[in-house]
């Protein structure tokens, strides 16, 4: 009995000693994430900058070393939201905890957009073009730094962003914060999701970087879903890339998930770095789509026959890009496979956009697509829009012009990208191979002498001077 009591006593002492060692290594053990982060930042601010409270310098160094300007704006927003001046470089622990917890609780899309537009407007009621441009560049850099393949860049980014700014501001120098919020929700509804997702992730797990006494490193398992282009088709020429990555990025903030995330793969439960329940509300560990080039008029030739040959039988969503003179670029998102019909077709996620020189959603909704090259008595060519009598986009049957708002532009090129699964592409290729085999079979089909006497090829051969031939 004595030995048994001695064993229990030793066991309890070992457990108590282990708890004490854990507490010494992490004095914030048992606290909530924002409490942990706040206490540790207060400690670091006092040790490194002799500041009572949380200093902006420590906030940037340990949480957002890659994005100091974004960190500065976020810190200023936390200060002003707690009633302090925007110029202050210090925030108290209690205000930091209150404001960060409030930021984490913002779930509604419109509130998220308003919050970050206000943040980049430096807390004012109006935002100028440069501030909006900074917001766009911040989101772009986040998306490219976390691109699934590796960090990316695009030399067309400033042209892409300028199209967004020009479309939103309509040559005005400033806009009301509320107006720009509504514009983003209409034309780039998922723009802010990327930024909010990242900031929530850093605030929720950043206490670890402070404990480890090193600036926060980029997480390997955080995917910001910008679609992935097929390697072999990406940036083939310097003068005319098929689809600049910056355009893929801005499209991913607008397009329905049908185009950007058609396949959702379940991933194993992340390690303790991402196990907080509240974090799972914001992180979307989905596999980006791999866009496959189906048709490029610069390579395959332009015309209705070439378009039909390369696009039909792809049984998945597609994006069709129409480039015209004067620098115009349009995009049509079709939810289902292309088909010829005298009626409009397409699901609820059908969408029509202009990318250049202005970026905007022109139309969205069902029964917005039309293709007819052979049915007599009906309009020929491609049409897109909710009003059949006044379509938003028209391509004539000769594929020479694209018309928008009554203005015809010379059609310079067409690209069609498949946005479905690899299986969709495999099925299309199988159908094409079957069609080729059937054509070859029909071409070598033997005919009887009687059938050959009535065949038009016999007459052509006789005109060419050949009077004898085999009828086998």
pLDDT digits (tens, 9 = 90+) for 157-177: 999 999 999 999 999 999 999
Residues 416, 268: Cα–Cα separation, whole Å: 34
| Stronger pLDDT, 249 or 213, i.e. the higher one | 249
C-alpha torsion angle, residues 370, 374, 378, 382 (rounded to 10): 30
Report pLDDT for 458: 62
User: pLDDT band at residue 395, thresholds of 50, 70 and 90?
Assistant: very high
| Stronger pLDDT, 308 or 222, i.e. the higher one | 308
pLDDT tens for each residue of 79-113: 999 998 988 999 999 999 999 999 999 999 999 99
For every residue of 224-287, DSSP letters joined together read --PPEEPGGGTT--SSS-SS-HHHHHHHHTTS-HHHH-S-----PPP-GGG--TTGGGT----P
Report the percent of the chain where pLDDT is more than 90: 57
- Is the pLDDT at 467 greater than 60? The verdict is no
* Structural element, H or E, at residue 176: strand 174-176
pLDDT tens for each residue of 247-259: 999 999 999 988 9
| Stronger pLDDT, 145 or 79, i.e. the higher one | 79
Cross-strand partners of 261: none
User: pLDDT band at residue 370, thresholds of 50, 70 and 90?
Assistant: very high
Q: Quickly tell me which residue has 């054509």 as its tokens.
A: 439
- Is the pLDDT at 431 greater than 70? The verdict is no
Mean pLDDT of the chain: 81
- Is the pLDDT at 447 greater than 70? The verdict is no
Report the percent of the chain where pLDDT is more than 70: 70
Report pLDDT for 385: 95
Report pLDDT for 118: 97
Helix segments in 27-123, DSSP class H: 33-49, 56-63, 68-81, 93-104, 109-120
End-to-end Cα, the chain, rounded Å: 107
Report pLDDT for 146: 79
Question: CATH assignment of 33-212, given 3.30.420.10, 2.60.40.420, 1.10.3720.10, 1.10.238.10?
Answer: 1.10.238.10
Q: How far from 307 is each of 35, 60, 70, 242, 427, CA to CA, in Å?
A: 59, 52, 45, 16, 18
- For 5-33, b/e burial (b = at least 16 CB within 10 A) is eeeeeeeeeeeeeeeeeeeeeeebeeeeb
C-beta of residue 179 within 8 angstroms of C-beta of residue 172: no
Q: Quickly tell me which residue has 């005109």 as its tokens.
A: 463
Q: Write down the number of H helices and E strands in the chain.
A: 18, 15
Report pLDDT for 162: 97
Q: Which tokens sit at 75? A: 């810190």
Taking each helix axis as running N to C, give the angle between helix 245-252 and helix 129-145, from 0 to 180 degrees, rounded to the nearest 10: 100
Which range (10-19, 164-173, 343-352) has the least confidence? 10-19
Residues 30, 406: Cα–Cα separation, whole Å: 66
Cross-strand partners of 295: 416
Give the pLDDT mean for 14-30: 49
- Is the pLDDT at 17 greater than 60? The verdict is no
pLDDT tens for each residue of 274-321: 323 333 333 333 334 578 889 999 999 999 999 998 998 888 899 999
Detail the DSSP E strand segments found in 269-400.
290-296, 318-324, 329-334, 351-356, 360-364, 369-372, 381-384, 393-395
Residues 29, 50: Cα–Cα separation, whole Å: 25
């Amino acid at each position: 009995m004595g030995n048994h009591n001695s064993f229990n006593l030793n066991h309890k002492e070992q457990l108590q000693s282990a708890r004490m060692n854990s507490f010494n290594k992490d004095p914030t053990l048992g606290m909530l994430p924002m409490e942990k982060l706040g206490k540790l930042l207060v400690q670091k601010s006092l040790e490194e900058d002799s500041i009572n409270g949380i200093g902006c310098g420590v906030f940037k160094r340990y949480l957002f070393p890659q994005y100091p300007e974004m960190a500065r704006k976020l810190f200023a927003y936390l200060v002003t939201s707690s009633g302090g001046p925007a110029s202050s470089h210090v925030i108290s622990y209690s205000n930091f905890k209150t404001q960060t917890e409030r930021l984490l609780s913002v779930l509604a899309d419109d509130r998220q957009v308003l919050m970050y537009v206000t943040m980049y407007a430096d807390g004012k009621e109006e935002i100028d073009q440069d501030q909006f441009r900074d917001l766009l560049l911040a989101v772009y850099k986040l998306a490219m730094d976390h691109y699934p393949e590796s960090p990316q860049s695009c030399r067309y980014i400033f042209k892409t962003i300028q199209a967004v700014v020009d479309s939103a501001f309509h040559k005005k120098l400033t806009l009301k914060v509320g107006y720009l919020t509504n514009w983003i929700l209409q034309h780039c509804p998922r723009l802010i999701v990327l930024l909010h997702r990242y900031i929530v992730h850093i605030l929720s797990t950043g206490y670890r970087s402070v404990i480890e006494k090193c600036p926060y490193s980029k997480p390997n398992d955080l995917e910001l879903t910008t679609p992935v282009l097929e390697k072999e088709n990406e940036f083939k020429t310097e003068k005319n890339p098929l689809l600049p990555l910056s355009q893929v990025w801005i499209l991913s903030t607008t397009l329905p998930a049908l185009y950007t995330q058609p396949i959702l793969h379940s991933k194993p439960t992340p390690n303790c770095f991402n196990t907080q329940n509240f974090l799972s509300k914001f992180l979307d560990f989905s596999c980006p789509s791999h866009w496959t080039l189906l048709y490029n008029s610069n390579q395959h030739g332009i015309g209705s026959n070439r378009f039909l040959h390369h696009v039909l039988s792809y049984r998945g969503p597609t994006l069709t890009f129409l480039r015209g003179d004067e620098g115009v670029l349009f995009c049509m998102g079709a939810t289902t496979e292309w088909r010829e019909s005298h009626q409009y077709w397409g699901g609820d996620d059908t969408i029509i956009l202009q990318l250049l020189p202005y970026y905007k959603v022109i139309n969205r909704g069902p029964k917005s697509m039309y293709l007819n090259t052979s049915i007599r008595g009906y309009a020929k060519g491609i049409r897109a829009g909710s009003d059949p009598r006044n379509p938003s986009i028209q391509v004539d049957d000769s594929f020479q012009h694209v018309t928008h708002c009554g203005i015809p532009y010379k059609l310079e090129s067409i690209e069609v990208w498949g946005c479905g699964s690899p299986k969709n592409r495999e099925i299309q290729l199988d159908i094409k191979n079957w069609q080729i085999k059937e054509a070859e079979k029909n071409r070598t089909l033997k005919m009887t002498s009687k059938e050959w006497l009535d065949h038009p090829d016999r007459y052509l051969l006789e005109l060419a001077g050949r009077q004898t031939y085999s009828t086998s």
